[in-house]
Amino acid sequence: MERKLERGISEAQIGWVTIGGIIGSCYFLGAGLILESLGALAPIAFAFAGLIVFAVMQAMAELQVNLPRESSFVGYSKEFLGSSVACGIGVTYVLNWMFYIPSEAVAGGTIANLFVSGVPAEYFAVFFLVLIVGLNLIHVKSFAIAETIMAMAKVFAIVLFCLFAVFAIFGIFTNPVGLSILTPEIAEKKALMGVGAFGALIFAGQMLMLMFNQTPILLVNYQGSEIIGLASGETKNPEVSIPKSAKNTAYRIVGMFVIPMFLLCLIFPASKA
């Protein structure tokens, strides 16, 4: 007897689960790596990669509306491209998460060690790894609730950062930091590293090429967006909820990546990222 997936994730929860999948510990460390490499071009680079992700999400939503299935995007691969291709996509995706989850745990341990230096980062990493695996083994309804709560906490933290960044720029409750990346005489001059005046960098051909070279790292920061398609078999009314969540991806990209990265560029020197 074929075992069917239980549709225990609501329309609102699928959006929060997706957000929680995107905002991980690698989100914060990855943002620093991109800022160090691209400097003032980082917000534009995130917007470019976000456009790619948005196009993929829209295509996935179109499939779910016109050809609703209980399986994930791997099932669509089998239906249209054959079993061999679907097997390759499925195995690749599993291997991708097998490497990505430990990297998230290590990144989380690194961040936690900054606040609790007395505990080695390795201990935090093991704790986070067990926690992640445990969350994915519980009932789908409990998983959705837990992911929703944690995603809300992550979004709240990002909103707080944006507010504090605006306060720092305009000197609200503190001395103004100013817009250093927009001022050539203040910013460091390292053309190949993208650290310098915004107006000079945006027209530099080598900088645009470097931005394209950083696209794979940028897309890794968006990993988790595909959970919309992965969870379609466990979502209530997927024909409605999946397209809606995919459409909201554009707002999430702007709100979680482009705006925070732009503010980070304004207040934080890329050379110290």
pLDDT digits (tens, 9 = 90+) for 121-157: 889 999 988 988 887 787 777 777 887 888 888 888 8
Percent of the chain surpassing pLDDT 70: 70
**What is the C-alpha to C-alpha distance for residues 252 and 2, in angstroms, rounded to an integer?**
36
Whether residue 18 contacts residue 223, with contact meaning beta carbons closer than 8 Å, is answered with no
Mean pLDDT of 204-208: 60
Residue 154 is predicted with a pLDDT of 82
pLDDT greater at residue 198 or residue 119: 119
Mean pLDDT of 194-222: 63
Residue 126 is predicted with a pLDDT of 92
Using 50, 70 and 90 to split pLDDT, how confident is the model at 4? low
The CA radius of gyration of the chain, in Å to the nearest whole number, is: 20
Residue 261 is predicted with a pLDDT of 82
Hey, what amino acid is at 191?
A
pLDDT digits (tens, 9 = 90+) for 236-253: 666 676 777 777 766 777
Residue 127 is predicted with a pLDDT of 92
Task: At 25, list the tokens.
Answer: 């510990």
pLDDT digits (tens, 9 = 90+) for 8-63: 566 667 677 777 767 766 677 777 777 777 777 778 888 888 888 888 888 877 77
Is 50 exceeded by the pLDDT of residue 188?
Answer: no
Hey, what amino acid is at 88?
G
Q: What is the pTM of this model?
A: 0.71
Using 50, 70 and 90 to split pLDDT, how confident is the model at 233? low
- Structural domains in the chain, CATH included, are 11-266 (1.20.1740.10)
**What is the C-alpha to C-alpha distance for residues 266 and 76, in angstroms, rounded to an integer?**
43
Cα-Cα-Cα-Cα dihedral sign, residues 98, 273, 196, 268: positive
Other beta carbons within 10 Å of 40: 25
Using 50, 70 and 90 to split pLDDT, how confident is the model at 256? confident
**What is the C-alpha to C-alpha distance for residues 217 and 212, in angstroms, rounded to an integer?**
10
